[in-house]
Amino acid sequence: MKVNIKTVSEKAGVSTATVSRVLSDYPGVKEKTRKKVLKVISELNYEINIVARNLRQRKTNTIGVILGNVLSQFYSIIAKSVEDVANKSGYNTILCNGDDSPEKELKYLKILKANRVDGIILTPTGKNADYVNWPIESGTRVVLLDRLIDGVECDAVLVDNENGAYKAVKHLINQGYRKIGIINGFTDRTTGRGRLDGYLKALREAGIPKDNGLIKIGDFKKRSGINLARELLESNNRPEAIFVTNLDMTLGTLITIKEMGLKIPDDISIVGFDDSDWAPILNPPLTVVSQPVYNLGSTAGEMLIKKIENGSTNSGKEPLIVTLNTNLTIRNSTVSRM
């Protein structure tokens, strides 16, 4: 026999509306009635048809999250923080590994839209502006995380990338370094562009000319840190210090330094962007630009859920941009050359 909400109501001796209120944990149902309905549900092994209920309510209590490389500590912390906020507010999360691929990003945007999620948190590649605008214009709530997209007017939560990079490079300059290399990620995305701008700003202020041979552009992944650090350290134009603009590439750079038998900071100094549990226990401990990663994700989650609950959309409104500060955490991976 097919069990449905009417079957439950008949056996429990209550209306279908009362069963629906119990299933939705709606207030106003007497405790005795609630227990009776739940007992019948258990006896009949009744399972809620979530898809049908969502179609009726036009709400899924689900948010989609499209992040970059989820193997990265940075993105795993963000995933955790978004999920914490969502669970606290009664929402489920669908986590998608965009892998910094425009093709995968587009695929997951379509999947989430087809699954009628109530909102999307997106770390964008910057390549699908037209498609990102479509769910926004059709009423899906979207919050951008860590990056903006040219051509998309959307709420976002960012960190101050330029100022963070500026502080890191200025610290090196103040210690007497003049030949400073940078290993950076995609400069067509606002994170990479902002961190490169901060690096160049610090050099300009110190009167140090830009040297394209000291600027290496990768993809924010460990392998590019390994390869680009070797390019810098084996060149005739070898830097005195390297600024690396994310955690994964910093790890790659450290691997190369070790493989080449170099010592930090005697042979080469290094400052990374992003802190981690292992940075302070290295020998020597690593100087980093630390950013509030957990708060980055939780702020985006809270912003999205507030938009869903209030029924507000991005369309036709001035976007709300929240920018979180970074801090320079000075340890011992650099040394004064003064």
pTM of the predicted model as reported, rounded to 2 decimal places:
0.80
Each residue of 210-255: pLDDT tens digit? 999 999 999 999 999 999 999 999 999 999 999 999 999 999 999 9
In order of their start, the domains of the chain are: 5-48 (1.10.260.40), 60-159+294-324 (3.40.50.2300), 161-292 (3.40.50.2300)
Share of the chain above pLDDT 70, in %: 93
Average pLDDT, the chain: 91
Contacts of 274 (CB under 8 A, 6+ apart): 73, 74, 246, 247, 250, 288, 289, 290, 291, 293
Each residue of 124-140: pLDDT tens digit? 998 888 888 888 887 88
